[in-house]
Amino acid sequence: MRVRIFALLFSVFSFVSLSHAQDNVHDRSDWGNIFNEFDAQGTIVVADERINIQSTSVYDENRAKKRYSPASTFKIPHTLFALNAGAVRDEFQVFKWDGVVRDFAPHNQDQDLRSAMRNSVVWVYELFAREIGEARARDYLRKLNYGNADPSTKHGDYWIDGNLAISAYEQITFLKRLYKNQLPFRVEHQRLVKDIMIVEAGRDWILRAKTGWDGKMGWWVGWVEWPTGPVFFALNIDTPNRMADLPKREAITRAILRSIEALPPNPSVGTR
């Protein structure tokens, strides 16, 4: 009973906190110029928590509130689930390739946790999902208050083809808790997940992020760490041209982050 009451109170608190945060956002309609430059329709939320800034900005707030499939951005919480359930021991455990040739060459080899995250290797996370099971996944999702917390699916993977859905605002809320090691999982597991999320780094900054794509819509979510504080971001865009549109996720986000000096000028631009 106490657990249920706590879960209810936490959900209410999270909803109130999120609503309050959305009441204090800055509309950045001007970022539409960057989306237009890349011929893309989408949204981005940026929560800048650097000292003397402390602001949240959004382009297309209505879309930022809309829930979509998390696709491979779900590998962030899914890794925590797998570690907690014992589906993977650590970042060194090797998962043998099953011999099935897939479209993306890096998927066609043995994997560990780091490579599975970096290359978005779906078959590794399908192994995790089978071992975790739907009931335990649902319990984890509810504890996280992750989107609609619904892991059911009629076909395919629930984080891509199923009912699980999350908004850009909710992605930001989740990422902030992970950054602060405030999720209901072991701290060492949260730190490991953050370590394997590293995309690139400079002398005084670190970019941690994850892409996602469900075939129709693509994500890029994460944060940039600075000595003065983190800058969180969650972008999603439509991908009518499918794989041809995928580089736009990072390109748009990087352009916006550079415009607010949350990334150094002209960093390398990833394409997957």
Is 37 inside any structural domain? yes
Is 175 inside any structural domain? yes
107 has pLDDT over 50? yes
Is 205 inside any structural domain? yes
Is 215 inside any structural domain? yes
3 has pLDDT over 70? no
CB-CB neighbours of 228 under 10 Å = 13
DSSP bridge pairs for 212: 219
Distance, CA of 193 to CA of 186 (rounded, Å): 11
The whole-number pLDDT of residue 19 equals: 41
- pLDDT tens for residues 30-71? 999 999 999 999 999 999 999 988 999 999 999 999 999 999
Tokens of 195: 């370590």
The whole-number pLDDT of residue 24 equals: 82
Is 17 inside any structural domain? no
- In the three-class reduction of DSSP (H, G, I as helix; E, B as strand; rest coil), residue 134 is classed as helix
The whole-number pLDDT of residue 121 equals: 96
DSSP bridge pairs for 44: 59, 235
- Going 41 to 252 to 104 to 117, the CA torsion angle's sign is negative
Beta strands in the chain, from DSSP E residues, in sequence order: 25-27, 42-48, 55-59, 198-201, 206-213, 217-226, 229-238
**Letter for the amino acid at 12?**
V
Taking residues 147-158, what's their average pLDDT? 96
Average of per-residue pLDDT values in the chain: 91
Q: What are phi and psi of 239, to 5 degrees?
A: -130, 65
CB-CB neighbours of 201 under 10 Å = 12
pLDDT: which is higher, 21 or 56? 56
* pLDDT band per the 50, 70, 90 thresholds, residue 23: low
Distance, CA of 104 to CA of 120 (rounded, Å): 10
Distance, CA of 135 to CA of 137 (rounded, Å): 5
Per-residue buried b or exposed e for 123-149, using 16+ beta carbons within 10 Å of the residue's own CB = ebbebbbeebeeeebbebbebbbbbeb
State which H helix or E strand residue 144 sits in: helix 134-144
Domain containing residue 198:
25-259
- List the CATH number of the domain containing 44: 3.40.710.10
**Letter for the amino acid at 240?**
P
* pLDDT band per the 50, 70, 90 thresholds, residue 266: confident
Taking residues 209-222, what's their average pLDDT? 98
pLDDT: which is higher, 270 or 218? 218
2 has pLDDT over 70? no
The whole-number pLDDT of residue 264 equals: 95
Is 167 inside any structural domain? yes
CA of residue 180 relative to chain centroid, distance: 15
Q: Are 125 and 207 in contact (CB under 8 A)?
A: no
Active site residues: 72
Q: What does the CA dihedral 72, 75, 77, 82 come to, rounded to 10 degrees? A: 140
Is 9 inside any structural domain? no
The whole-number pLDDT of residue 14 equals: 45
Per the structure, the count of domains in the chain is: 1
269 has pLDDT over 90? no
